[in-house]
Structure 1
């Protein structure tokens, strides 16, 4: 038996040895919430010392809740049928509901202060570290429900809103897809079937695509129910809060303005033509007039196939070192100490993620590693999230929670670092074509696929306000969004991708799509700065990540890159870098 250098199964025992230990942690957290509620009854919110004490308690509780939620997520991902994990996840979710209620009660106390009392409170040195957060809460005041309504929605969300999201995860994990490979019938998870999108054999890719579509079609009405109920709950809550534009909350939570979002999408649309040329060229490589969706992730040649997990880990460790010793040693520690669950097997969860454990100061990474460059990049992506968690270790609890737009920046930067390292390392033309193709797949995903998801979700919520949206209509909405976003350059896309895209089912916030494009383009600018700064980059990068939880994004970018992201000029710089990749790929292709 071949001996592996790095373990492909994560170590969870170092966090909680048994489910009983986790149950004790959850009970302890419940007691912390009870104590906080008692504190709130007598607290004088105008006293900065008492306010700081409340905020510190909220931060501590949030860290404990994150620890429990991450652990149950990991347990269910490795075994979706684990009854103990499902039970504990329910208890942790219930506590989240109680925490949300406590946080909103603290906020409601603060928003009753007069402007004079508010300014006096913020000017105290005790609350220096909480200034941005408190002002965010003050802005949120216009959405505050009555105490009775807040309690009603908090209680209903536990067995309603959040329960639908948990049911989605369970249902998706239960789907089995039968695909014949090498003369043997293979029963695969959705994640394994999706991995076959990058298989070198076109017949296998098409077979996996068709089998996945068929399996999802059988259950599409169930998934339509889940999506409609999550959206329906959200819209009812927004209606009572006086929110008409469903984008208002996602923009607030991502700490960007609509001007920034519009500048980004308009710039992306302006640069799409060169990426449609790339897609048309790739279609011809596979003998088609228009690129079939199951050929999109296919390799253009046989370079970089069958990469072992050990090789992937060593490559990432080596090339993270170009950006600093801390990020390199962090990656090495993650691989050597069992932070990654990468084994390819059936019965696992269907999508990759990074789970942060803020109380332990660690992270865990989950994926199904299939030995292809796409898996290497997923690994680097999730390590980027983990490094972001690592950078925030010295930061207080409430300031550790950064917006999704910046969450996708650190992860995408890590992907870009590995792709560019591979490109710079080779002089072989075929290797260069392969790497450029991988880079361009990510550009197309962010400029076209993510745009399609954004358009789909925007239109879905518009229709959901008028009533239930059935599965056949959801398929049509996705088809129309893809045709528009891809400018008609993709044939037979997966119109049921609204089912296997887990971000549509998150209860934290809708529109978990545009942050990816934001992070992708922002990471281009960070990477350019890293190449310019050299050894001084890492310190600045870590400081940027630490500030990500306590600063508006427009302010953060201005502070570290001196750029105004409400203007198209910033976005076009990143798009020009990506367009050069397309032009170079087309030039290399014309030389064959």
Structure 2
């Protein structure tokens, strides 16, 4: 069970969470200020930089020497030598990660640039070839007898601090293939899922949409879905449906192929379910995810169904159309928020919780760690990429000045701060399972929302602010669990045979009415809106992590509001732990336990209370 360092960027990407975000296409019509761009020189100065060439050469030699020194010998290593071995492996991981982070980030700045795509592809091929020599490491490590493993990892001079990493790796032992097959899968990765991922990205980035005779990209078109003008929202939704429909066969082919490839690998590994690999990588028990899923689906009537009936009433409509789902309220302030104000809003909210949080976020604005502008060919939505622990994270946005864009900034900066704090754990321990990776991002949004709410005395704007937060939480919890159910149904159906576009469309619609409720009508063409959501392609079953994170943060924030002693210190300790502890250990200081089904009801009750407040405003 290996992950190619050449594919690490895709595995670490964090794409913004809903179909209210997408790919860049057109610049905003107003001046939003000087939007920052990435300065990638902390990784490498240029594609032809001498140190990049030197690192590539070093990487090849390091992989060869590592295999010579350790292949066939891991079980015999004494504790101190095992520590040395692991630290050498970690240095190789950093070197490969640094190279691919640079190539990948350049590519995501403009996925339609053939030269950037070739540069990344060539490096991906080279690093995959070099790191094939390392495939033995996890395979051989998992064959170390339990008694010997316990002895080496409990010794004083040994690698005890790395034990959480290898415990997770050894949990994959039942699903490990032969060395030869694992090497084949590693080599084949560049022409398998990674190649289909690139096809998806480049296709989506190149889509165009006809809006009243004007050609627009997907970001500009999706942005219309939150426009105050209902006719513009309708035009945007219909243009999306038309273009998605024209490309449906290609998206169905990508989806079918990736689902089948996953099914084949799962069969060989004897994975009991399509979701098992994700649960293992997230270090979360299937029953915990099932408890989350069941709690959310049971709450649909109390959350989304109830809220959208309210929204239809506010908008004077008998039924909402799909283009009304993310529409602003008629009374909502229409002004766009310039970048300096967005920066100040988020940093002030962070500082209100702790000056340390704002200090950790400040360099993103000052040092070229954010790429915010909307540009042709730029990658989907928003993400925070940690690069490697010896450098720093980079944040990508497509900032258009909407209130939700400010929340996206707060979200991605939360990831960035989390990644900076966890970096002290070192490369192998810094990576946080997806279930906990959303903690700081969603908490950052909550801090920003609460800070804005505290400063809003006008009842009309207060209502709009609360409604916007409820919609974001529904998008994060209800929509993502509906996405998870869609994926579960899709992979189950694909196991029975090839899926036509109509088959996939029907699966998509089967979760839409259930999750959104009877306040909606669904226009012809909406059945194709599964096509561009990147999570289904890049990270199967990723989506439940958002709902997990929102429920977790709601419970954490309740503890914060209740005055839990030393909350800030405990919070920073949680983020600094990275992937070194299980969620049970990390949540214990807060008196929380995600394995308790009642835990999820606590988080969902916060959304219910906000809807209660909105209903009370109607009285």
TM-score, length-scaled by structure 1: 0.93
Q: Relative to 1, partners in 2 of residues 1:462 and 1:425: Cα closer, same or farther, differing over 3 Å?
A: same
SS of 1:223's partner is: helix
The worse-fitting range, judged by mean Cα deviation, of 529-538 and 390-399 is 529-538
Q: Relative to 1, partners in 2 of residues 1:32 and 1:283: Cα closer, same or farther, differing over 3 Å?
A: farther
Structure 2: segments with no counterpart, 5+ residues: 1-29
1:289-321 per-residue CA deviation (whole Å, 9 max, x = no partner) reads 232221111111232631111110111111110
Q: Relative to 1, partners in 2 of residues 1:472 and 1:44: Cα closer, same or farther, differing over 3 Å?
A: closer
Q: Relative to 1, partners in 2 of residues 1:14 and 1:399: Cα closer, same or farther, differing over 3 Å?
A: closer
Contact map agreement 1:354 1:363 (CA 8 A) in 2 = yes
Q: CA deviation at 1:94?
A: 3.3
Contact map agreement 1:454 1:513 (CA 8 A) in 2 = yes
Contact map agreement 2:32 2:401 (CA 8 A) in 1 = no
Q: CA deviation at 1:221?
A: 0.7
Q: Counterpart in 2 of 1:108?
A: 139
Q: Choose from 429, 436, 439 the match for 1:406.
A: 436
Contact map agreement 2:175 2:270 (CA 8 A) in 1 = yes
1:306-354 per-residue CA deviation (whole Å, 9 max, x = no partner) reads 1111110111111110121221022222112222211134332232111
Q: Choose from 147, 151, 154 the match for 2:183.
A: 151
The worse-fitting range, judged by mean Cα deviation, of 286-295 and 468-477 is 286-295
Q: CA deviation at 1:391?
A: 0.5
SS of 2:541's partner is: coil
Q: Choose from 197, 203, 208 the match for 1:165.
A: 197
Q: Choose from 314, 331, 339 the match for 1:285.
A: 314
Q: Relative to 1, partners in 2 of residues 1:350 and 1:333: Cα closer, same or farther, differing over 3 Å?
A: same
- Quick one: distance in 2 between partners of 1:522 and 1:53? 37
Q: Relative to 1, partners in 2 of residues 1:5 and 1:288: Cα closer, same or farther, differing over 3 Å?
A: closer
1:501-552 per-residue CA deviation (whole Å, 9 max, x = no partner) reads 101111xx42011001000111112223334458943332221112231222
The answer on 1:119 being equivalent to 2:150 is yes
SS of 1:579's partner is: helix
Contact map agreement 1:384 1:410 (CA 8 A) in 2 = yes
Q: Counterpart in 2 of 1:542?
A: 572
Q: Choose from 449, 455, 459 the match for 1:429.
A: 459
Contact map agreement 2:209 2:243 (CA 8 A) in 1 = yes
Q: Counterpart in 1 of 2:613?
A: 584
Q: Counterpart in 1 of 2:116?
A: 85
The answer on 1:334 being equivalent to 2:364 is yes
Q: Relative to 1, partners in 2 of residues 1:304 and 1:100: Cα closer, same or farther, differing over 3 Å?
A: farther
1:528-585 per-residue CA deviation (whole Å, 9 max, x = no partner) reads 3334458943332221112231222233222x32222222211111111110001111
The worse-fitting range, judged by mean Cα deviation, of 44-53 and 541-550 is 44-53
Contact map agreement 1:271 1:579 (CA 8 A) in 2 = no
The answer on 1:367 being equivalent to 2:397 is yes
Contact map agreement 1:193 1:208 (CA 8 A) in 2 = yes
- Quick one: distance in 1 between partners of 2:57 and 2:172? 30
- Count of residue pairs the alignment pairs up: 582
SS of 1:500's partner is: coil
Q: Choose from 300, 310, 324 the match for 2:340.
A: 310
- Quick one: distance in 2 between partners of 1:465 and 1:155? 25
Contact map agreement 2:433 2:579 (CA 8 A) in 1 = yes
- Quick one: distance in 2 between partners of 1:399 and 1:229? 33
Q: Relative to 1, partners in 2 of residues 1:118 and 1:439: Cα closer, same or farther, differing over 3 Å?
A: same
Q: Counterpart in 1 of 2:22?
A: none
Q: Counterpart in 2 of 1:65?
A: 96
The worse-fitting range, judged by mean Cα deviation, of 187-196 and 569-578 is 187-196
Q: CA deviation at 1:27?
A: 4.1
The answer on 1:267 being equivalent to 2:295 is yes
The answer on 1:504 being equivalent to 2:532 is no
- Quick one: distance in 2 between partners of 1:311 and 1:141? 51
- Quick one: distance in 1 between partners of 2:597 and 2:441? 23
Q: Relative to 1, partners in 2 of residues 1:114 and 1:331: Cα closer, same or farther, differing over 3 Å?
A: closer
Q: Relative to 1, partners in 2 of residues 1:294 and 1:303: Cα closer, same or farther, differing over 3 Å?
A: same
Q: Choose from 482, 486, 503 the match for 1:452.
A: 482
The worse-fitting range, judged by mean Cα deviation, of 397-406 and 439-448 is 439-448
The answer on 1:566 being equivalent to 2:595 is yes
Q: CA deviation at 1:360?
A: 4.6
Contact map agreement 2:423 2:578 (CA 8 A) in 1 = no
Q: CA deviation at 1:122?
A: 2.0
1:5-61 per-residue CA deviation (whole Å, 9 max, x = no partner) reads 754222223432211134554443333322322222364434222222222122222
Q: Choose from 111, 119, 129 the match for 2:161.
A: 129
Give the structure, 1 or 2, with the largest relative contact order (CA under 8 Å, sep 6 or more).
2
Q: Choose from 267, 277, 282 the match for 1:249.
A: 277
Q: Choose from 32, 46, 50 the match for 2:62.
A: 32
Q: CA deviation at 1:445?
A: 1.3
Q: CA deviation at 1:4?
A: 7.8
CA-based RMSD? 2.2
Contact map agreement 1:565 1:571 (CA 8 A) in 2 = yes
Contact map agreement 2:205 2:379 (CA 8 A) in 1 = yes
1:262-291 per-residue CA deviation (whole Å, 9 max, x = no partner) reads 221222233222321110111122332232
SS of 2:41's partner is: coil
- Quick one: distance in 2 between partners of 1:26 and 1:534? 49
Q: Relative to 1, partners in 2 of residues 1:363 and 1:221: Cα closer, same or farther, differing over 3 Å?
A: same
Q: Counterpart in 2 of 1:397?
A: 427
1:463-502 per-residue CA deviation (whole Å, 9 max, x = no partner) reads 1112221212111110002122224443227322321110
